Amino acid sequence: MFLIAVGLLSLVLVSCSGGAQAVGGWSGTAIDDGVIYAGTRDGRLVAVNSSTRDVLWFFAIVTTSSGGLSCGPTSVAAAIYTTPIVDTDLIYVGTYSGQVLALSTVARSQNLTFPQQRYGEWEWYCPLDGAKSNAIVADLAMSGDALYVASSNGRVYSLDKQFGDLNWESKVLDERHGKLWTSPVIQGDTLYGSTLDGHIYALSAETGELLGWSFEAGAGFASSPVIHGDTLFVGSFDRRLYAIETGSNVSRWRFPEEEPAGNWFWASPIINEGIVYAVCLDGRLYAVEAETGEKEWEFDAGSAIVSSPVLTDNLLVVADESGTVYVFDLSAQFVDEAVPLKTISIGTAVKSSFCAQDGLAYIRGQDNSIYVVDIERGEIVDGWPLSLATEK
């Protein structure tokens, strides 16, 4: 028994290590004006020239860790799960340590100390409330002059995107529903948020007040909702995709209606010309009629699909966890839509959301590298690691 206890204690000690180790996260890529922005697995935000592949700048986001029983406080890299949002010269990103940062491309390319207020930079800390985590996992949402943040403490915050001032804080969801790991969606003046325990709430985007309508499902919601017209599409832990009309207490449909799918609908679906394209952790891509929930077709990738599909020029790009990228031609008239037009292997797991522009998809693999995939030709054009050693 003594040996067992010593063994367990050793495990604790071994697991306690700070410093510059890989911290994880699955921040996706964003592209703007020929520059790719991505959070890395070692806690940095990196800007890369999409043509030359040069790293234009990077910023290491650091936080303080208490270190637990056997470790003292240490500075550690912050894990980044959110995909950066680009808005003119500012890049917004949230971290697992509860920070929201607005980084200026001008200030960062000069490597000035952060934050440079004259360039519009700011940093906001999500408040800690007792033992509740203030981690930010869900993508930030932007609408008008506001940035919306869903936190693991169960609260939604609206920040002034120019100065980082708090517009409002909504505590409506935290008491009963715990952490918010799904991103809110905004339509007009209304913000819709889904909870891990199966609720959808409508809040005023202006004031954060709870609006009259809410929806309760039998199981928790795994994905961030997507709104199309007056219908929200959201994946659930009960292995179904739900279509919920705003203002209604019952779902319009759920897919599959009878036997559930093979796993959770983790990623947000996308909607194109009346068809919902939903990927599932069971490795399948489902094409479902948005109006009726009838299945049009499905494709089995054979490996879990964690990141949302991307649509560009009627080409649907899907990347699975095994590192295979599939391209589907949605305008195909004479070929089967359900058969991939191209299949490309990038050889590393993909969990991050990715972006596409001008026929190229920019995918960050879990090996901390960015891969550029030519969608039409179906080949990897380039790929480079984001490790510190390769950067200037």
Least distance in angstroms from the C-beta of 22 to other proteins: 12
* Beta carbon of residue 63, minimum distance to other proteins (angstroms, whole number): 15
Contact call for residues 186 and 153 (beta carbons, < 8 A):
no
* Interface contacts to other proteins, rule CB under 8 A: 1-2, 4-6, 8-9, 12, 24, 26, 68-70, 81, 131, 137, 178, 181, 196-197, 218-220, 237-239, 260, 262-264, 266, 281, 304, 306, 351
Nearer to other proteins, 176 or 295 (CB): 176
Q: What is the DSSP string of 267-296?
A: SPPEEETTEEEEE-TTSEEEEEETTT--EE
Least Cβ distance, residue 174 to other proteins (angstroms): 13
- Closest listed residue to residue 147, CA positions, set 165, 155, 159: 159
In the bound complex, what is the minimum distance in angstroms from residue 297's beta carbon to other proteins? 23
Residue 117 per-residue DSSP state: G
Q: Shortest gap between Cβ of 4 and other proteins (angstroms)?
A: 6
Which of residues 12 and 339 has its CB atom nearest to other proteins in the complex?
A: 12
The residue (of 262 and 274) whose beta carbon lies closer to other proteins is: 262
- State the burial class of residue 218 (Cβ atoms within 10 Å of its Cβ: 0-12, 13-18, 19+): exposed
CB of 41: closest distance to other proteins in angstroms?
A: 11
Write down the residue that tokens 């090996």 correspond to.
367
**Residue with smaller CB distance to other proteins, 8 or 339:** 8
Q: Which CB sits closer to other proteins, 69 or 335?
A: 69
**How many Cα atoms sit within 13 Å of 16 on the Cβ side?**
16
Tell me whether residue 181 or residue 277 sits nearer to other proteins (CB atom).
181
CA atoms within 13 A on the CB side of 77: 19
SS3 362: strand
Pick between residue 131 and residue 335 the one whose CB is nearest to other proteins.
Answer: 131
Question: Distances from the Cα of 259 to the Cαs of 8, 242, 307, in angstroms?
Answer: 43, 14, 24
**Cis ω for the linkage preceding 225 (within 30 of 0):** no
The pair of structure tokens assigned to 211 is 């609006």
* Minimal distance, residue 376 CB to other proteins, in Å: 31
Q: Is 61 exposed, middle or buried (0-12, 13-18, 19+ CB in 10 A)?
A: buried
